[in-house]
Amino acid sequence: MSQACQHMEAGLRLSDHYVEVSVSQREILRSGKNTNRCLEKELIITGDIDRQKNSVGQSQIFDGPNGKRYNLLLGNAGMGKTTLIKKLCLDWSKDRLPQFDFVFLLDGRLLTSAEPVHSLQTLLLSQSSFASPCADPEQVYAQVLAAPKRVLVVFDGFDELRDYETLLQTQEKDLVASLQRGSKAQAFTVKQLFSGILQRVLLPGCTLLLATRPRGTASQLLRRADSFLEVCGFTPTHVETYVSRYFADPELRASALDLLKSCSYLHRLCWNPGVCRLACGVLEQCKGSEALPRTLTALCHEVLCLKLEKAGGGAQSPAEAEKQKTVEPAEEALTEISNNPRGRRGQSQSRTRPRAAVRTGSRCQRARRTKGQGKPDEDNVCKDANRTGDLELLSHLGSLAWEGVKSNSSTVPRGRTISTKLRAFGLRTGLLLSQSFMKSSSTEKEETEARGRDDNNGTGGVAEGECKDKEGNTEALFDCEDNILLWANPFLQSYMAAVHLVFSRAVTERSFLQTLPFQSGAKGRRKPQREELELTQRFAVGLLFHNTTKLQRLHSLSDAAFTDIVASRQALVMKHLEGLSFGDLSPAQVLEVCNYVYEASFTHKESGQDTGDKMLAHLAIHLPEFLTFRGVPLSPPDVFTIENALSKGGAEGRSFCLDLEDSGIPICGLKALVGLSNINTYRACIADVVTLWEELERRGDESLLQGAVSKFTIHPLRATQVRHIEHLEKLVGIHTHKRLSDSSSQSGSVLAEGVPAVKELHKLEFQLGPESGPLALPKLWALLPGLQNLQHLDVENSKIGDKGAEKLANALVSLRSLEILNLSENCIGDQGVKKLGVALKDLPKLHCLSLYSNVISDEGAESLAAVLPHMASLTDLDVKYNKMTDVGAQSLGASLKKCKKVKTLRMWNQCIPYGVFERLQHQDSRILCH
């Protein structure tokens, strides 16, 4: 295993290239009512600081009070789930996970086989990835069964959560019994065995780790999992580490890093490790910052072109071929980054050839090299033949990619007929991989040996299903018709799908229009989109505005047809954007629009800059003034595209109020948005905001600090987690002390008047519920006196009891602006209400008080009756569903006569005889039953 899991991607070894990333423990809102909700919606999105606090080291992933047994590993495409799993396997092989005697890695793609030919033993010992041939399977299997608690089973390679859900459906009793008997007959399907493991019928007590992308529904899985982990992606420091390891030569490394930093969006895209890998491939060949891709579309385009060139076809346009003739000699002399640094370490030939040499891959081009210049005619004939052939294959791949995106799959369905040529082309370009999942022992052995050889050479391994010929060209290894074909990279699959949508004649204008986002009615518009589809849509828009010359290598349309198709589809996209009612879009959809408009707006002149620019202007003008991204996870590149749209808004004279709560926005992103001059107010996680202020203070950036403090708002505040109250406590502390910390000096002038957000907090809802509520109550009592302008306090259903009521009473003295106080369902009894009464009569503005559903009896009712006439502003009192009898009710009724301002008194409960209540009601119509 230590050898097999070393392989990350062609040429990259785990021990050389792995960057230790954070894994964050996520919490989930367990409402209990939802049976079919999207996981993303159930997961709590914490702020940046809390995310950092919740991060766990890789060795602690399986630690927990009771040992976490059902772990979900979440992360979007390319975020590094598989890589992390490999690292865990590597760690295990080095005894760093001593709690497990066995680790098995099961690939979701094994499910493509539906034949009942397995037993648990063969599944674990022969089909598990990285499993080496087992000399004594019987004995090993006996050990596995003897102590399942010391077994870790990892599931990876499922495209979506939904795939797992089908595995959790109840199985037939007979089948369960036969699985439980531990039948050794090889008579089960992979699905039955997977289900058995996931449903705890097989290997009960083993630890499970399931890697998955977070979108999609899987309520059953949510209920079973007891730990939710998320790969956090690369920080700027991680990116630097990754690039440094990728470019071993110090000069090239420095140059690559400079280039990357010069291109902000590309740099931020590298937050996703998979994209960072793609960016490095492009940086390797890049000639200068102008040539760097500035959009995700442009990045994928460059990667695709490099792949085509490496594969030797290089579907080039005649214009490009012409241009290349003049560029190539200079390029060969170029030493900037184009020489692969790893070449010096004797690595894989195919990856280390300088760019010009790589371009000579095709037989035709090789012929040209060996024969000197060759005859130009022959050359062109060769190229044209290549170009036409490759373009056709490329177009077929595009259509295949789109089929996959539509069906949400990265594997090419087994039944799908694919020509040998197309298969070979897909593998040669590295767009597709061929994998044999059902391994025979001999294939397995060969594979392990091949990898071992490769690794020992220090060549860095090859992708599963690949090998290199003598010249170093990557070819399909073990590829046979039975192997599964899958897309090697999710971004390139979506990119190819977009190429199909934009350039295929088979896609009519109408169907193109239907692929654009947010099509169906108002409800459909709010449905979360799948990741691959969203990416495809983004690429489709980006492609329409991409450099025309560069696009020529992706299509075989004539110039006129190309211009037509691009112009008409650009117009469709523009019309679609104009047709959107931004008020109806969900926050996630607004983000999607920002992303796709960015892809379009960063365009080249000849590709219709006007339309691209118009799109950005349209977005900027129509974005709602109160712009919320609440509940949508915002990554660094997302923040960039939002900033882009908001800045354009500024240029168009617009200003915005931003809500960034529950978005997990990184603090640096927060700083960028808050720093925009056309932001009137903003909301965000209080802890992150305070950290930002502290950073600004440290840097002495007083004007930005001034803006960040004065624009911040927290009204109205709904606390649903303990941390919300902890954060508020900190903010109130800053407000009362009028400085950020004891040691701070500069913030003095900025905070001379306290924190405006605290002064303007008029409504606070404490909604932590009876379980978590009591944990945060002491902090609430401590901070309340600082909220002097609070008008509405809601502490419903928080189990505050008499003790809490007493504390609250002490705090109420300071809340002279309080108008509404909700203390319903709080176990407050007579003692509590007595204490409260004393404080309540001094609140000059209190007009609405609810003590609904507490445990106040006659004694409490009488003390309340005594203070009622002193509560000068009270209009509505609710003491329904308490414990008072007719005695208490009559006291209140009598007191009511002295309270001219009171409009309603609700006090019905079962202990008050109905006759008494009716009489009271008769005497005073303000006494209400409901």
* Binding residues vs ligand ATP (CB under 6 A): 8-9, 12, 17-19, 21, 75, 77-83, 213, 242, 273-274, 277, 490
CB of 412 to ligand ATP, least distance (A): 16
Q: Considering beta carbons, is residue 242 or 518 the nearer one to ligand ATP?
A: 242
Q: Considering beta carbons, is residue 447 or 464 the nearer one to ligand ATP?
A: 464
CB of 227 to ligand ATP, least distance (A): 18
Q: In what order do the strands lie in the sheet with 626-628?
A: 626-628, 656-659, 679-683
CB of 288 to ligand ATP, least distance (A): 25
Crossing angle for the helix pair 531-544 and 587-601, nearest 10 degrees? 30
CB of 488 to ligand ATP, least distance (A): 9
CB of 443 to ligand ATP, least distance (A): 23
CB of 217 to ligand ATP, least distance (A): 17
- Among residues 843, 819, 823, which one has the least CA distance to residue 833? 823
Q: Considering beta carbons, is residue 8 or 646 the nearer one to ligand ATP?
A: 8
Q: Considering beta carbons, is residue 274 or 786 the nearer one to ligand ATP?
A: 274
CB of 496 to ligand ATP, least distance (A): 15
Q: Considering beta carbons, is residue 273 or 461 the nearer one to ligand ATP?
A: 273
Q: Considering beta carbons, is residue 19 or 761 the nearer one to ligand ATP?
A: 19
CB of 51 to ligand ATP, least distance (A): 17
CB of 485 to ligand ATP, least distance (A): 16
Q: Considering beta carbons, is residue 17 or 847 the nearer one to ligand ATP?
A: 17
C-beta nearest to ligand ATP: residue = 80
CB of 12 to ligand ATP, least distance (A): 6
DSSP letters of 684-746? --HHHHHHHHHHHHHHT-HHHHHHHHHSB---SEEE-SHHHHHHHHHHHHHHHHTSSSTT--T
Q: Considering beta carbons, is residue 81 or 546 the nearer one to ligand ATP?
A: 81
| DSSP-H helix ranges across 545-608 | 548-551, 559-579, 587-601
Question: In angstroms, rounded to a whole number, what is the distance separating the alpha carbons of residues 275 and 267?
Answer: 10
- Among residues 739, 715, 839, 872, which one has the least CA distance to residue 787? 715
Question: In angstroms, rounded to a whole number, what is the distance separating the alpha carbons of residues 822 and 718?
Answer: 14
The contacts of residue 465 (CB under 8 Å, 6+ apart) are 427, 433, 434, 435, 436, 476, 477, 478, 479, 483
| Strand partners for 792 | 763, 820
- Among residues 390, 389, 385, 246, which one has the least CA distance to residue 308? 390
Q: Considering beta carbons, is residue 309 or 531 the nearer one to ligand ATP?
A: 531
Q: Considering beta carbons, is residue 273 or 801 the nearer one to ligand ATP?
A: 273
Alpha-carbon distances, residue 618 vs 585, 607, 628, 795 (angstroms): 15, 18, 18, 44
Residue holding tokens 């003008």? 621
- Which pair of structure tokens corresponds to residue 774? 């009591």
Question: In angstroms, rounded to a whole number, what is the distance separating the alpha carbons of residues 863 and 33?
Answer: 40
Q: Considering beta carbons, is residue 80 or 801 the nearer one to ligand ATP?
A: 80
CB of 1 to ligand ATP, least distance (A): 17
Q: Residue 5 is inside which H or E element, if any?
A: none
Question: In angstroms, rounded to a whole number, what is the distance separating the alpha carbons of residues 149 and 69?
Answer: 9
* 432-435 and 763-766 beta bridge pairing: unpaired
Which 3 state secondary structure label does DSSP give 484?
strand
HSE-CB for 535 with a 13 A CA cutoff: 25
Question: In angstroms, rounded to a whole number, what is the distance separating the alpha carbons of residues 117 and 487?
Answer: 27
Amino acid, res. 499: V
| Strand partners for 207 | 152
CB of 447 to ligand ATP, least distance (A): 18
- Among residues 649, 642, 602, which one has the least CA distance to residue 625? 649
DSSP letters of 851-890? --SS---HHHHHHHHHHGGG-TT--EEE--SSS--HHHHH
Q: Considering beta carbons, is residue 82 or 195 the nearer one to ligand ATP?
A: 82
Task: Report the 10 Å Cβ neighbour count for 748.
Answer: 12
Q: Considering beta carbons, is residue 12 or 874 the nearer one to ligand ATP?
A: 12
The contacts of residue 228 (CB under 8 Å, 6+ apart) are 25, 26, 27, 28, 43, 71, 72, 74
The C-alpha R_g of the chain, in whole angstroms, comes to: 33
CB of 530 to ligand ATP, least distance (A): 12
Q: Considering beta carbons, is residue 213 or 847 the nearer one to ligand ATP?
A: 213
CB of 23 to ligand ATP, least distance (A): 10
CB of 210 to ligand ATP, least distance (A): 12
Q: Considering beta carbons, is residue 160 or 444 the nearer one to ligand ATP?
A: 160
**Could you write out the three-class secondary structure of 185-240?**
CCCECHHHHHHHHHCCCCCCCCEEEEEECCCCECHHHHHHCCEEEEECCCCHHHHH
Task: Report the 10 Å Cβ neighbour count for 681.
Answer: 18
CB of 221 to ligand ATP, least distance (A): 16
CB of 272 to ligand ATP, least distance (A): 8
Question: In angstroms, rounded to a whole number, what is the distance separating the alpha carbons of residues 560 and 824?
Answer: 72
Cβ 496 vs Cβ 403: under 8 Å: no
Backbone φ, ψ for residue 115 (5° rounding): -85, 140
Q: Considering beta carbons, is residue 277 or 468 the nearer one to ligand ATP?
A: 277
The contacts of residue 142 (CB under 8 Å, 6+ apart) are none
CB of 244 to ligand ATP, least distance (A): 12
Alpha-carbon distances, residue 312 vs 30, 317, 359, 491 (angstroms): 54, 15, 6, 22
Q: Considering beta carbons, is residue 277 or 396 the nearer one to ligand ATP?
A: 277
The contacts of residue 442 (CB under 8 Å, 6+ apart) are none
Q: Considering beta carbons, is residue 431 or 594 the nearer one to ligand ATP?
A: 431
